[in-house]
Structure 1
Amino acid sequence: MTTTQFAQALDAGNLNSPSGSVKQAGQEFAVRMLGEYRDAEDIRNTVLHFKTARGVAKMRVGELAQVRDTLEAPTILARLNGQPRVSLAIVKTPEANTVQVADAVKAEVNRLLKELPKDLEVTYSRDQSADVGAALEDVSVSFFLGILLVVLVVCVFLHNLRGMIIVSLAIPPSLSATFMVMYFGHFSLNQMTMLALSLVIGILVDDSIVVLENIFRHLHAGEEPRAAALNGRTEVGLAAVAITLTDVVVFAPIAFMGGVIGQFFREFGLTVVAATLFSLFVSFTLTPMLASRLYRRGEETEATVGFWAHFDRFYNALDRGYRRVLGWALHHRWQVVTGGVGVLLTVFWWGWPRLGFEFFPPVDQGQIRVSMELAPGARLEKTDQVFREAERRLRDIPEIRTLSCFIGFGGGGRARNSGMLRVELYPKQGVLEKLQAPFQRLLGKGDYHGYIRTRADQEVAAEIQQRLLTIPGPVMLRANADNSASGLSRMVGGGGFSSTIGAIVMELRGMNNREIVRVAEEIRDRMKGIDGLIAPDISWREGKPEVQARIDRVRAAEYGLSVTDIAEAMRDSLEGNINAKLRDGRNQFNIRVQAAELDRNSVEDVSNVVVGMVDGRAVRLRDVATLEHGLGPTTISRRDGMRVVSVSAILGPGVPAGNAQKQVTEAISDIKLGNVYLKWAGEAESRAEGTTYLTWALGLSIILVYLLMAALFESWLHPFTILLSLPMALVGAIIALVLAGMTRNIVSLIGFIMLVGLVTKNALLLVDYTNTLRQRGLERAEAILTAGPTRLRPILMTTLSMIFGMLPIALKLGRAAEQRAPLGVAVIGGLLLSTVLTLVVIPVVYTLFDDLGGLLAKVRRRGARQVSSDGEG
């Protein structure tokens, strides 16, 4: 009897069936046959009939087989800190709120724990709501600290509480109106909108500062408060509108970028635009009204005693020094221009090559993924042994909070040669949390677990990689910090954990798999020689070793067996037949019919598998087939009709992905690809897309600012004077990023775009007031020497307000703040350098373009006179 026949006979005796009905005493009864197995004993007592050489024989199942009520052999193993575990992953829907979902899940778990056994322990090995909460707390603190610092800047320059109150009161109405826009736009208070609100603190007070400072100057000149408020607002009205619109035209393109990066920054851009427009309205209405009510005629701008007196002496000295420098610059125009250009080019040449490039700044999330893969065909027990050794080697790393082990995942639960360790680290505290820690310990609050982590997740991952390298067995080992950069990389390649995950990923496509693998292996070998790249690997794997049975169709036909009959008998003997079921109330269990373990332990056992019966005699596999060793089919990935093999690597601590990609490109430049096509994927693909959209947004913002300035000045030349402040800002941002050890990335590029709007405002204030004075009859040089010192105070106030508003973001106060810090650093660096150079270089450039405009006007007039004289002749 074959195993298949045995299973069929067993299944035939496992049946409940309706059999009709009977009528008795005026009542009808349904008749049902109950023949289903109720327990293992029923199975043992089942009688089977089968043919033998002597005829038909009867035997009980218990006489032919061992019947056991047991557990299915495991194909997947899971542990938490060395103890068996069941892992449950809960994924929210796209529109759901992470924090709300996590809170609801925790509440439900707490309710269920009351009904479950007391010794059951529930551990949250990954909780994204904690990261979101920490990030929002950091942004919130940066937001309120930025407001405080901005108000202090205003107080220092105006040194009276009334000015501080007026500027402070400009913030709440603008924010309230912005919240209304966010509400009707269905925005949430997430990291991007909170970051936008933090950034606009300096922008919100820009217009109010310009208007208030001008009103203050008119009051000091002796005007009545009402007249000063009206005249001060009117005098800078056009400039204030232009200042606001520069921010609008800069941030609007960010809100309408395409691709994933556009979805990411849409709410950010629209929030900034809304807040900026409302700040203009407030500066034209609330600020002058409050100034007319709170200020007095002849308001003093200088103090005689105390801190304010010292500040006034410092500012007056700065003002006198600026007048002298500006006067000298106007008499040495070409030296100033050539010197400024030389300094900018030198600094750019020094800083740009030192500035690394990556898609997104890595965020320390305290999660490390360790993937290990043994040779194809490794048994689950061997894989488990290797992972237990890995767990033992990692136990004494102090930063590790929990260690989760998963073995046998992937490939439908058949990837028994691979697995993963998910390492959760203790939280890495930021400056803000370190300041809070002593007070929270006293109050019994906080989640410090007795350990404060100081090392970054990438450093811990590098140590894990080194500790596990000497374990015998794995053919692939990767310890990768699960930060935002790696999270944006894509999973490509083969099945299970052989799928390549890394910051450096390239796809090789073609029709010939052997040629693709050859090129992939050569690229992988070149990548091994590049510093900073860890565990280069390819997605292709050799097939699993197997015993292959080649059927002799002629002999099989002689026994009356088809290929299907033989395959079914082999599968049922070696893997088991689970057609029959045992039902116990609501539960249903498989009845697995399978050859005894001692009959399936070797190749010889496989050859002895009974595949059929002829005249009561067994036909074994060796009678109809020959056995040989071979490799099974490997996983084949296709894209666009072509076979795909990926090559990938993870990055060492502090290695920017863009720099690593450039090194790889140079290292493989001489490899002959033949008919293989190479394409960067993963983070590189996202980085290229994001850079394209941001470059488009930057270019469009510059064009829009130019058109806005051209309309304001009614000139095509003077807008170039304004735009020349942009290279100064760019160089300042580069210097700041290099000195801070940061990179060019999506976040710092947003900072570059912000600078387009921010730095042009200072130049705009200078040029606009210079034109106003010239219209009043002043000579050009006198107008410049008057406009510069007059606009020095509002320029310094708006610049310092923006710098101090961005300072909390740049200082990385909270957990995960490194994600936002490059933006703050880029803006601060750009503002500092551009402001210093703008105050001197822009007036000089203004005179040069003015001379050029005069020259062009003379040429046009001369041409017009020539045309006129020709006409008369």
Structure 2
Amino acid sequence: MFSTFVDRPILAGVISVIITVIGIVAGLTLPVAQYPEIAPPIINVQATYPGASAQQAYESIAIPLEQEINGAPNLIYIQSTSSTDGSVSIDATFAVGSNLDAAAAEVLTRSSRAEAKLPEAVRAQGLEIQKSSRQRLGNVVLYADPSTGFDELFLANYAETQVIKPLRRVTGMGRIVNFSNMRYAMRIWLDPAKMEALALSTETVLQSIQAQNAQITTGSLGKLPMDRATPFELQLVTKGRLTRPEEFGNIVLRANPDGSVVRVSDVGRVELGSEQYGVTSNFDGKPSATLGIFQNPDANAVEVMNGTRATMADLAERFPPGLRYSIALDSTEFVKEAIYEVVRTLFEAILIVTVVTYLFLQNWRATLIPTIAVPIALIGTFGPMALLGFSFNTLSLLGLVLAVGLVVDDAIIVVENTERLMAEGMAPKPASREAVNEIGGPVIATTLVLAALFVPVAFIPGLTGQLYNQFALTIAISVLISAIVSLTLTPALCGLLLKPHAKDGPRKTRWWRKPLDGFNVALERSADFVARTIGWLSRHIVLTLAVFVLFAGATVLLLMQRPTGFVPDEDQGYLYAEVAMPLGASVQRTEAMNARFGEVLRARDDVDHTIGVSGRSFLADTVAPFYGFNIPVMKPWDERTTTVDDLIRDMEERFKHDPDGQVRIAAPSPLPGLGSRGGLTLEIQDRSGNGGLGLAQTASTFIEKIRALPGVANATPTTDWGVPQIRLDIDRAKAEQLGVPLARLFEALGTYVGSSFVNLFNRFGFVYQVYVQSDASGRRLFQDLEALTVLNAQGEPVRLGSLVQAKFSTGPTAVLSYNTYPAIEVAVTVAPGSSSGTVIEAIEALAEDLPRNSSIEWSEIAYQEKIAGNVAPLIFGLGVFMIFCFLAGQYESLRMPLVILLATPLAIFGAVGFLALRGMPLDVFGQIGLLLLVGLAAKNAILLVSFAEDLRRQGKDALEAAQHATRMRMRPILMTSFAFILGSVPLAIASGAGAGARLSMGTVVIGGLLVATILTLFVTPVFYVAAERLRGEGATASAPGQGETGKEEQGATA
């Protein structure tokens, strides 16, 4: 059938042109991403309880919300962080593939049910519920020239009012976090001494502001219905909400009998200040407003950052003079660079494959034909990729790189067979017809085998399925298109381009032919050696089987001993360096330490600039004055010789014994959307629900044991227990005796020290909040607090010092929970050369000795790795099973599939052995490579077995057929295998952005296919002979479909 295209080359060309054009059009629409959509959907809920401690916020906000949200459909885990500033953040993480909108609606509904249980101050400010992602795409910073006088408060609010609003409209934009959180607020700073002198209570101040700063509706004069007609209808307007500090200062607190009044300005001062204080940011040491850019879970990161850049460029044209901005961090630069590296590897692979093809075919015309087939097959793959919703990402492009060696195979086989027939004296066109008729069946068989191997992967759910999916289906599609091109265009080109072989050509006398002739002689002698060895091994089947069993046993042993991992860490061009000061340190001390750290970083040649934030923890994502962090952004990969790992080691050594504080450094997560940092995330839970100091002590002991484990570089709790606190014990009986209502006492204490939210005001087109708090004189030291007064029922001042007793205690920097249980989160860093899988197993073994009420769970990448570890054997087994079933149907035999699949252990042995030699773990990319090796090893074995079967049908005995088939197919097998192997070398020696994935994949496929190719030439023919002898030496092979039953009938008839 396929020989038709030899006589109809235009039809063959049209088919390839249509495939190419569709591919080009589709390729222009494919988005670019680092990975497919692998991040689990996250819905974030945020609330704030002004003045509350972390424990109070947890008990008042987190617990009611978690109880309602827990149990939502497809929820895999829920975690909350309650900070010392009274803020609560809850992340509800859903299974990969869950509908994001449905998840958001479910969380919204459940949160609404919990609102009635929340404090009034929390309900007044409302809940913020949004789709979220753990992946920070980048940072936008605003900074100003010193001459402008723009301070951080102005910068933060300019960003809030003029920058964040348009950025939110960027397609795919998720959260935008203003790290300073210095949103404008009307701050009323009370003077406790004046309040006492004028016998005023905080209660009076709050009630007066509420009454006199209210939105008032006054109606209209002359509005219907009226008893008689009126000439006009006039709307009444009066001053409602106040807008300026002086207006709040004029609020009347009390009218005295003498006609005088006491105003807010008489007992304090009013200013347009900030909602929150204590978090500052800088860009290269200059004060700045720093915005964290997050994407929606289902958005494309590159498109979001491109939109961010375009929006900022447009906004900058309207900035005030002296105001500047910078895209200080763009994590998608790594994505673009990694994609560029893969694309470059793709072209290198094509070039190498072309050279290898010429080496074996030794004819530029014959080399040109498969070279033409490669781009057609690769470009043609883009069409189905677009239909399936794929993108150009690390996995799909790696699939295309490896597909180069596969798509050239089919064309090489057709060309090589044509060349062989022409060497026997046939003309090009007849040779092309005969070649495609001979080779068409094996080409279709090997193509369908690879499709059978990869297509079932598409139905595997979850994150692992997403990782395998695009890689596997990209290869399957390219191989299918390659088969079409090889059976249509390739024979047509053979008939058109190839020239008849001359018996004596002058080309053999040319100097460059001598090494090629030497190569041919070596190849022929090697084929003879292999054939003789097959004969010897066939006479010593037991010995051959014993050696094979040893290889299989060694393969199992290597697999058991090889450490496992999920995905390799990558040099993404930046990292997070957290500064941890002594617990209880002020934010001023943290700023000084963070500034010194930033100067050290900027002094390095490989660091481009730094983003500094003081008063906030990156690891715990919580606000605390004794935490800060720097984000050093390194120079582009081609402008430096160092890596992120080098920077980490240098900084850890530099600040290891720093007297001011500790430095904790973490790389970003290698998988976007799965956590904000690399390494493993462990949750130590208190199942009794008590939490507190008991959980902290258990966690501390357990963390010390983790640090002592081999393969663990460090284990750091993201929260600390031991923050100095003052516990106030209120003498309630004495308060009653002195006539002080407890509600008034609590309100005075909360207002003076913690601040009280009153109501709202309008300014600059926004709605802001009004807060009342003591000025610094009333809350600097404990003695200041003791001097505060509260009015009793008779209006007499009572010192707080007479009603409270202080005890020094300790507490947490933040209160965390995981799956509704109090928890302490631990960031575990895996040591270089060790594997995450081994560390996970070791920690789980340690956890068996935890107290009965304590347990551990994994989150983020570690959680997904645990799931993936259970799925990988299923994927591999399913692939082998599908190949077996297909081959059994193809040959109508159970013996032939076994003979072919016996090459699989050899490929795995080579792959795992090469990983061991390079000290690399078997991660997800290596597992994908193993799956590919099953198909590649089977493909070579199919070529040998198919030709041996043809020779058996011609009457040759099993050994003769096996030897002759090996001689005939050894050149194309070596040619296609070494084209694939050498084409994968750029992967195995990769460096730069995204090198980790390429190294893992390249090492596995090169090692596996190299060993499998060499040993398959011996093992497969020998086992074929053994299988034929078991079936009966006198029987001849049947055509596919006749089956073993038909063969037995032939023997009986004979």
Deviations 1:21-59 (A, max 9, x none): 7799965655555487675555556665367xxx77845
1:307 and 2:512 aligned = yes
Within 5 Å, which residues of 2 pair with 1:266-415? 266-298=469-501, 304-305=508-509, 306-332=511-537, 333-334=540-541, 337=544, 340-341=547-548, 344=551, 348=555, 355-409=562-616, 414-415=623-624
Q: 1:381 to 1:321 in 2, by over 3 A?
A: closer
1:840 to 1018, 1028, 1035: 1018
1:4 to 199, 203, 218: 203
Show the counterpart of 1:458: 645
Greater alpha carbon shift after TM alignment, 459-468 vs 306-315: 306-315
Distance 1:119 1:300 in 2: 82
Letter of the structure 1 residue corresponding to residue 664 of structure 2: R
Show the counterpart of 1:146: 349
Deviations 1:353-374 (A, max 9, x none): 8744321111110111122334
Q: 1:509 to 1:206 in 2, by over 3 A?
A: farther
1:481 and 2:667 aligned = yes
Greater alpha carbon shift after TM alignment, 295-304 vs 227-236: 295-304
Within 5 Å, which residues of 2 pair with 1:545-624? 545-558=724-737, 560-579=739-758, 586=765, 592-624=771-803
1:418 to 624, 627, 638: 627
Within 5 Å, which residues of 2 pair with 1:809-848? 809-812=987-990, 815-848=993-1026
Letter of the structure 2 residue corresponding to residue 4 of structure 1: E
CA contact (8 A) 1:504 1:657 kept: no
Deviations 1:657-711 (A, max 9, x none): 2343355456x37735434333444433322322332221111111122222223
RMSD (CA atoms): 3.6
Within 5 Å, which residues of 2 pair with 1:709-724? 709-724=887-902
Deviations 1:713-757 (A, max 9, x none): 332223222112112111211232233443211001111110101
Letter of the structure 1 residue corresponding to residue 625 of structure 2: R
Distance 2:442 2:787 in 1: 94
Q: 1:786 to 1:254 in 2, by over 3 A?
A: same
CA contact (8 A) 1:732 1:833 kept: yes
Show the counterpart of 2:637: 428
Structure 2: gaps (5+ residues) = 1-199, 223-228, 1036-1043
CA contact (8 A) 1:182 1:188 kept: yes
Show the counterpart of 2:837: 658
1:469 to 644, 656, 674: 656
SS at match of 1:469: coil
CA contact (8 A) 1:721 1:842 kept: yes
2:950 to 754, 757, 772: 772
SS at match of 1:752: helix
Q: 1:281 to 1:345 in 2, by over 3 A?
A: closer
SS at match of 2:790: strand
CA contact (8 A) 1:507 1:681 kept: no
Show the counterpart of 1:439: none
Distance 2:332 2:236 in 1: 59
Distance 1:123 1:43 in 2: 37
Q: 1:676 to 1:167 in 2, by over 3 A?
A: same
Q: 1:329 to 1:38 in 2, by over 3 A?
A: closer
CA contact (8 A) 2:726 2:809 kept: yes
Distance 1:680 1:301 in 2: 72
Show the counterpart of 1:444: none
Cα shift at 1:776 = 0.6
SS at match of 1:87: strand
Show the counterpart of 1:763: 941
Cα shift at 1:544 = 4.8
Distance 2:572 2:430 in 1: 57
Letter of the structure 1 residue corresponding to residue 205 of structure 2: F
Distance 2:484 2:434 in 1: 17
1:190 to 393, 405, 411: 393
Show the counterpart of 1:215: 418
Greater alpha carbon shift after TM alignment, 24-33 vs 75-84: 24-33
Show the counterpart of 1:249: 452
Distance 1:599 1:421 in 2: 33
The structure that has the greater radius of gyration is 1
CA contact (8 A) 1:49 1:56 kept: no
Distance 2:503 2:791 in 1: 111
Show the counterpart of 2:266: 64
State the TM-score, normalized to the length of structure 2: 0.72
Greater alpha carbon shift after TM alignment, 749-758 vs 401-410: 401-410
Q: 1:58 to 1:619 in 2, by over 3 A?
A: farther
Q: 1:378 to 1:844 in 2, by over 3 A?
A: same
Q: 1:301 to 1:844 in 2, by over 3 A?
A: farther
Show the counterpart of 1:108: 311
SS at match of 1:85: strand
Q: 1:616 to 1:830 in 2, by over 3 A?
A: closer
Deviations 1:478-515 (A, max 9, x none): 21122506x67647xxxxxxxx9732635445215466
SS at match of 1:123: strand
Within 5 Å, which residues of 2 pair with 1:747-758? 747-758=925-936
1:727 and 2:908 aligned = no
Q: 1:835 to 1:594 in 2, by over 3 A?
A: closer
Cα shift at 1:827 = 0.9
Distance 1:376 1:136 in 2: 44
Deviations 1:555-607 (A, max 9, x none): 44455543222211222222344536665564666665433422333323323
Identity of aligned residues (%): 26
2:921 to 743, 752, 772: 743
1:528 to 707, 719, 725: 707
Distance 1:162 1:793 in 2: 18
CA contact (8 A) 2:711 2:835 kept: no
Deviations 1:360-416 (A, max 9, x none): 111110111122334554332233233234334444333222221222337997422
Q: 1:478 to 1:610 in 2, by over 3 A?
A: same
CA contact (8 A) 1:504 1:650 kept: no
CA contact (8 A) 1:489 1:501 kept: no
Distance 2:264 2:742 in 1: 31
Q: 1:223 to 1:250 in 2, by over 3 A?
A: same
SS at match of 2:593: helix
CA contact (8 A) 2:585 2:625 kept: yes
Show the counterpart of 2:98: none
Distance 1:37 1:757 in 2: 75
SS at match of 1:756: helix
CA contact (8 A) 2:670 2:678 kept: no
Show the counterpart of 2:409: 206
Show the counterpart of 2:682: 505
SS at match of 1:236: helix
Q: Greater share of strand residues, 1 or 2?
A: 2
SS at match of 1:484: coil
Cα shift at 1:794 = 1.0
